[in-house]
Structure 1
Amino acid sequence: MLRKITARQRQMIQLLLDNREEITAAEIAGNIGVSVRTVHREMEDTEHILQDFGLTLSRKSGKGIQMNGPETGLGQLRHFLRAEKPAEYSGEERKIFELCSLIETEEPLKLFALAHTLKVTVATVSNDLDELEPWVRKFGLQLVRRRGYGVEITGAEADKRRALCRLAAEHLDQSDLVGRGPQPEGEGSPVFRKLLAAVGQSRLLNVENLLWDMEWNWTAELPESVYMELLLGLSVAVRRWEIGMVIHDSEEKAYPRISDHQNISGAEQFVKQLKNEMNLSLPTSETLYIAEWFDRAQESSGHDDFVHGDIGLMGLVYRLTEQVVKRTGFPFQSDRILREGLLEHVEQALRRIREGTRIRNPLLGPIRKDYQYLFRMIRDAVEELKLDLAVPDEEIAFLVMHFGASTERLSQLRRNVRAILVCASGLSSSRLLGERLRKEMPQLEILGNVSWYEAARMPEEDYDLIISTIDLPMEKDQYIRISPLLTAEETDKLLRYIQNKAPAEDGSASAGEEDQPVTGESVIGRLRSYKGLLDEIDGLVERFRYYSLSNEGMDLENTIGAMLDKLRGSGVTDDPKTLQNRLLEREKMASQVIPDTRLALFHTRSSHVLMSSLTLYRLQSPLILDGNTEVTTILLMLAPKVLSKESLEVLSEISAMLLDTDLMRLLEERPEQEIRTYLSAELLRFFENKR
């Protein structure tokens, strides 16, 4: 029996019928007013519909999507589209609409009113609500339904905002939020418009401009994912203020650190400005709410530490890389960019899987096809890790993007056109696109992967062109938009754009490195960076010390105290007691034990550390950590709170080196000078690769 189709599926099918040649997902998305991710999400159901008519879809790498099948089937499909009245909303769209409607009002809604709006039966809406109830509960909210009363979502205002942020994260792309203005009434999906309105999309760029007007250094240093999460959270708050939904002062008890917001003064400035612009009166609790967002953004930005996640995470990435190396024979373990990217991605991926977040990867289909061999190898490698959770294909595809980018970092030729990349799908897709660009266009020098908000603010003299996979809030002639997979047509389009936009061969920006003006990453800047790296390496190696620690009868707290006593008079710290407490807190938060060893890494940054320090302790009496692991050796890494980029890179490199079996053996068994020599050689190699 033929199935009902949604209005969006009807539009997609009609486009495929009308275009007998291939059409890209990006072109489909542009024609029907949705994101590329939505097109890929709808494609599977669309294929099932076409199968009813004996039709199929073929995807050709570099060209696009094409409908295939006999003329009789195509004719039947055309007749069906003329006769069939489409269902207004898919099941997923209905649930988004229902959630937005319920969270946007404080009054109960009647089931029949929702059913009438969605053009379905009351029983269908009731079934939708049954499926939504577990999702609602995850945010501490309650779905209340009573006969004659209606349905409503009750709970704290802050929890409703969390739910809206998650809803946006699951169903919207960055390009949906920043790449377009509000859609005119009647254009695009009404559900799409409703969700954008609920999360304050029309106010998002205004909020962002105000955030930058504050001129705080820390906002410019936030990673893209953290920045986007912060911006979305602030926009949701502003939208809620506009419709009268505020956090009342009686809800202050919901904040665990009410008197300890490090950004309270900044939040007061920010909220004051918004109150003036919007002519609103807001309670003190809203200032505390904004301060909590600012605090959380700074804490999650990664600048408080120099070790990626915990040691267990580093071990997991190391084992995954080794498994892929074993299967492919490719030396991935030597790629520092790959390692850093995996550490950042895997930490977030594990959190998403454990939280049950719906994981979407719009590039899953093309990646599984274009990188079939690598996809299978990485799936096998992940299975070999024997994790206590199921890793979906969407996450495997993200990993393929990281490893695929690494394989394409083989031949790096000299560049003469400076480009920056902006990608919506995250770090992995931007790196993959960057490597494909380098391979296809040797004349390109990819300066880096930046977020859309950074691209809009970069001085024009620092680059020659911007390449983006999303619409940007800037003039169309300031950048070129392509898809993350770089089709053949897009390669030609980009070449023509470079010829028209990039400077001539004899221009100062592209005629050769020696003729470039001293702007951006200038010669002087590079020299200072090299000096900073060498100074940090030299200082750390010179200050490295080894001690045999007599800790019989001591617990962990006293052992750490004895370790810090050894640093007295060295000038490393002015407050050992504070450092002792910080190290103990960190040990409670995450494992410090290096997997499959009796070695632990204790590390922290603090204003009470005056210079970076690396110290090794071999314990006379083993400590029991992680429940039942005997630790006999501890490496202590300390660094100042304020740390240069070069110092952070060196310390991060050392922490990653701890996964090397040779270094672990040296730390556990060999004398101080032999360890120092090894560290010197490895850090010199790191420095030479940075040049």
Structure 2
Amino acid sequence: MKSKMTARQRQMIMLLLDSSEEITAAEIAGNIGVSVRTVHREMEDTEQILHDFGLALSRKSGKGIQVNGAEKELERLRIFLQEEKPEAFSGEERQIFELCSLLEAKEPLKLFALSHTLKVTVATVSNDLDELEPWLRKFGLQLVRRRGYGVEITGSEADMRRALCRLAAEHLDQSDLVSRVPRTGGHIVFRKLLSAIGQIRLLAVESLLWDMEWSWTSELTENVYMELLLGLSVCVRRGEIGMVLRSPEEASSLRKSGYRNISGSEQFVNRLEEKLELKLPKTEILYIACLLDRAQESISSADFVYGDIALMDTVYRLTEQAVQRTGIPFQGDRILREGLLEHIELAMRRIREGTRIRNPLLGPIRKDYHYLFRIIRDSVEELGLDFPVPDEEIAFLVMHFGASAERLNQLSRKVRAILVCTSGLSSSRLLGERLRKEMPQLEIRGNASWYEAARMHKEDYDLIISTIDLPLEKDKYIKISPLLTAEEIDKLMRFIHNMTQREEDSGALPEQDQLTAAEAAEDRIRSYRGLLNEIEGLLESFRCCPLDNDGTDLPDTIRQMLDKLRGSGVTDAPEILVEKLLEREKMASQVIPDTGLALFHTRSSNVLKSSLTAYRLKEPLILNGNTEVGTILLMLAPRTLPKESLEVLSEISAMLLDTELVHLLEKGTESEIRTCLSAGLLHFFENKR
């Protein structure tokens, strides 16, 4: 039987025992001062402790969690809790505390001092440090330990900041970072980590970043925006405690080429110093310029939703496997396809980098979607990937497929709602579909990041539904858990009822309803027109040309392709496009699997209008190691595009998995290719209606 448990586990068990009915994870989190994510993370060990006492956890979808067992065993556990002194920290908590302490220390720390603070033996701390060494080496850092000297982390300041940012990403929610209400009653380890990353300054830094009004920041994904913000916050915190970069070489270690945002960084640092009353050396301007450059470059690396053809093929095969096992026509759900492409690319990167993957909803998903979980696990295994996929990632995929299944029952809606959900795109879509199903009066207008929601115009929505605390006044939004319990549905119903009642009393609702219906009809007409205009323009300008590339390399072949577009008004800077297309090719294979066809594509401000052309090469190129490519499909688009244009371009990319179209691109006539494209895009348009 377990004789020790952490203080947090003890608190959770006591709450469960004291409750006469089910209690939600959100309620447990609120009572003990941690995030819902942390509660789910602790639940597996807590369940094992209860099992040791002959008890079990019962989870009821929509209601919550409850301890079940004989009264005799329940009483025995109560007595044990009264007599048992819990461990102050779990092993994971100790290591977070040790890392934060060492990364902020200006001189070596004594093992005895750490062991005294953590209330464990020196040997325990030494063992913790043994386990931390491989993690630190991933960031180019070394753990130095000498008798009589103590222990310290050595390495560059830039690498120490990278380690802190990764530590925060692995153990904190976005809610922990952006909430206005500090968790003063939270665990000491939680507070230690928040302090180390400068959370107290984070919202002030974010406000300054937004006030810079750089056009590119609005194009960043939520993940990239948070990475940038976290990097800036850590930079400020390190500056405040004197841990600054000492040389330009150290500051520029994140880049191998020149800086794009030096001027912007200098302006930002000037405002930062003025607002926060601190002084940063010139080297920090270079460092912040690196952070800004990396964030901005992430935009160009995500030119189209369907960038990596091999990735698209993986998504296609996964979807087909799920269709065969369930009979549900997932392949017709474009929202699912887009979501899977976005998620799987990030998931593969996380797995290959060895990043710790956490999914706070793993337990509930396994329980509530056990059949679908097994189906998706089997489908993933069938793909034959060269790396194991953990259950946490399978659960994320289940969210996508679960949301797709829920979409079959969409109903009419009246109240415009925006979702803010930091567990990721998959969980926000699953929550959105469950909301639509349970509350048909809701019109989910889309998902927003916390920083977008904080700045939205009231005219754009009636209601913000968030799974985290937002930096807004409490009456500006409603907070629920991602699992949408029965109590939260009631809470939402009351909120909507009260809101609509107030609007009816003021006489605003009838007019608003009329405007909303009219605007919705006009929006659909505009969307259809945009789709048809994009389809018509691409089909009319499509050309399939022979290209004499004999004796030329890839860069010169691309130059020849762009030269064919001269006079068409597609681009005003072909040489810049050559660089972007080559950069894209280095990032991921452009070759369609098992074919001699490659798709080269980019979006750029130097592209003036969308273009789709195919080129039959006289001399095949060797790409992707050893693949002979005889035909290149070139897709170009402006940097700023309406969503309808993006949808059409993405659909064309997806059509490249159709063997008939691939065969025609390699061997068919221009007329045959255009006919095939027309039929596919017509089918796409009719399904959109």
TM-score per shorter chain, which class? over 0.9
Deviations 1:55-113 (A, max 9, x none): 11111111111111112211111111111111110100000000000001121000000
- Contact 2:254–2:290 (Cα < 8 Å) also in 1: no
Aligned to 2:23: 23
Q: Where in structure 2 are the equivalents of 1:244-643 lying within 5 Å?
A: 244-252=242-250, 254-255=252-253, 257=255, 260-301=258-299, 305-502=303-500, 514-516=514-516, 529-643=527-641
- Are 1:615 and 1:637, in contact at CA under 8 Å, matched by a contact in 2? yes
Aligned partner of 1:146 in structure 2 is: 146
Give the aligned partner of residue 94 of structure 2. Answer: 94
> Structure 1 residue 258: deviation in Å?
7.4
Q: Which residue of 2 aligns with 1:243?
A: 241
1:406 Cα shift?
Answer: 0.6
Q: 1:509 to 1:328 in 2, by over 3 A?
A: farther
Residue 99 of structure 2 corresponds to residue 110 of structure 1 = no
* 1:589–1:516 CA distance, 2 compared to 1 (3 A): closer
Following superposition, the deviation at residue 525 of structure 1 comes to 6.1
CA displacement, residues 226-261 of structure 1 (integer Å, 9 cap, x when unaligned): 111111111111111111111123544643647732
1:414: Cα distance to partner? 2.0
Q: 1:638 to 1:67 in 2, by over 3 A?
A: same
Distance 2:530 2:593 in 1: 32
| Cα 1:511–1:396 shift into 2, 3 Å | farther
| Aligned-partner SS, 1:594 | coil
Query: In angstroms, what is the RMSD of aligned CA positions?
Result: 2.3
What do residues 174-233 of structure 1 show as CA deviations (whole Å, max 9, x unaligned)?
11111243333xx22000111111111111111111112212222223211111111111
Q: Give me the whole-angstrom Cα distance separating, in 2, the residues matched to 1:253 and 1:167.
A: 21
Asked if the contact 1:304–1:641 (Cα under 8 Å) also holds between the matched residues in 2, the reply is: no
The residue aligned with 2:179 is 179
Q: In the TM superposition, what is the alpha-carbon distance from 1:6 to its structure 2 partner?
A: 1.1
The answer on whether the counterparts of 2:245 and 2:283 sit within 8 Å (CA) in structure 1 is yes
* Superposed CA offset, 1:247-288 (max 9, x none): 123544643647732222221111101111233222111011
Secondary structure at the aligned position of 1:580 is classed as helix
Q: Judging by fraction of residues, say which structure has more helix.
A: 2
Question: Residues 100 and 490 from structure 1, CA distance in 2 versus in 1: closer, same or farther, beyond 3 angstroms?
Answer: same
* Offset at residue 606 of structure 1 (A): 3.7
1:62 alignment partner, SS class: coil
Query: Which residue type is aligned with residue 263 of structure 1?
Result: N
User: How far apart are the structure 1 equivalents of 2:221 and 2:463?
Assistant: 22
What is the alpha-carbon distance in structure 2 between the residues aligned to residue 573 and residue 212 of structure 1?
31
Residue 258 of structure 1 contacts residue 288 of structure 1 at CA under 8 Å; is this kept in 2?
no
The one-letter code of the counterpart of 1:288 is L
| Inter-CA distance 463–254: structure 2 relative to 1 (3 Å threshold) | closer
Q: Which residue of 2 aligns with 1:63?
A: 63
Spell out, residue by residue over 1:393-412, the C-alpha distance to the aligned partner (whole angstroms, 9 max, x if none): 00000000001111111132
Comparing 418-427 with 396-405, greater Cα deviation is found at 418-427
Query: 2: CA distance between counterparts of 1:85 and 1:197?
Result: 28
- Partner of 2:299: helix, strand, or coil? coil
- The residue type paired with residue 459 of structure 1 is H
Describe the SS at the equivalent of 2:385. coil
TM-score, normalisation: structure 2: 0.95
Higher alpha-carbon deviation: 194-203 or 292-301: 292-301
Counterpart residue identity of residue 357, structure 2: I
**How far is 1:433 from its partner?**
0.5
Aligned to 1:13: 13
Letter in 1 for 2:327: G
Whether the 8 Å CA contact 1:20–1:67 is kept in 2: the answer is no
Aligned twin of 1:653: 651
Aligned partner of 2:558: which letter? I
Q: Tell me the CA shift for residue 172 of structure 1.
A: 0.6
Amino acid at match of 2:174: Q
Q: 1:115 to 1:382 in 2, by over 3 A?
A: same
Among candidates 206, 219, 243, match of residue 208 of structure 1: 206
Q: After superposition, give the CA deviation of every residue in 1:375-417 in whole Å (9 maximum; x if it has no partner).
A: 1111111001100000000000000000111111113222111
Query: In structure 2, what is the Cα distance between the partners aligned to 1:363 and 1:431?
Result: 14
| Residues 225-240 of structure 1 aligned to structure 2 (within 5 Å) | 225-240=223-238
d(CA) in 2 for partners of 1:304 and 1:28?
Answer: 39
Question: Offset of 1:512 from its aligned partner?
Answer: 7.9
**What amino acid does structure 1 have at the position aligned with 2:153?**
I
- Aligned partner letter, 1:635: L
Cα gap change, 1:415/1:671 in structure 2, threshold over 3 Å: closer, same or farther?
same
Judged with a 3 Å threshold, the aligned counterparts in structure 2 of structure 1 residues 544 and 60 are, in CA distance, closer, same or farther, namely: same
Residues 209 and 558 of structure 1, relative CA distance in 2, 3 Å threshold: closer
- What is the percent sequence identity of the aligned residues? 75
Correspondence for 2:135? 135
C-alpha distance in 2 between matches for 1:532 and 1:588: 33
Distance between the aligned counterparts of 1:388 and 1:158, measured in 2?
32
Q: Does 1:41 align with 2:69?
A: no
Q: Which amino acid aligns with 2:278?
A: L
Partners of 2:655 and 2:537 in 1: CA distance: 18
Report the alpha carbon displacement of residue 547 of structure 1 after superposing the two structures with TM: 1.4
- Within 2, Cα distance between the matches of 1:651 and 1:344? 16
Greater displacement, 567-576 / 407-416 = 567-576
Is the Cα contact below 8 Å between 1:602 and 1:637 reproduced in 2? Answer: yes
SS at match of 1:301: helix
In 2, distance between residues paired with 1:344 and 1:216? 25
Q: Is the 8 A contact 1:252 1:258 kept in 2?
A: no
Q: Hey, what's the Cα distance between the residues in 2 that align with 1:625 and 1:575?
A: 25
Query: What is residue 119 of structure 2 aligned with on the other side?
Result: 119
Worse overlay, 497-506 or 308-317: 497-506
Gaps of 5+ in 2: none
Q: Deviation at 1:634?
A: 1.4
- Say whether the 8 Å CA contact 1:623–1:632 is kept in structure 2: yes
CA drift of 1:19 comes to 0.6
Mark the CA change 1:470 to 1:123 in structure 2 (over 3 Å): closer, same or farther.
Answer: same
Shift of the 259–561 alpha-carbon distance from structure 1 to 2, 3 Å rule, reads closer
Distance 2:633 2:306 in 1: 16
Q: SS at 2:402's partner residue?
A: helix
1:670 to 660, 668, 671: 668
TM normalised by structure 1 equals 0.95
Deviation sequence 1:660-690 (CA, Å, 0-9, x none): 3332233223322232233234334444555
Q: What is the CA distance between 1:511 and its match in structure 2?
A: 7.0
Q: 1:52 to 1:610 in 2, by over 3 A?
A: closer
Partners of 1:214 and 1:229 in 2: CA distance: 18
- CA-CA distance at 1:526 after TM superposition: 5.9
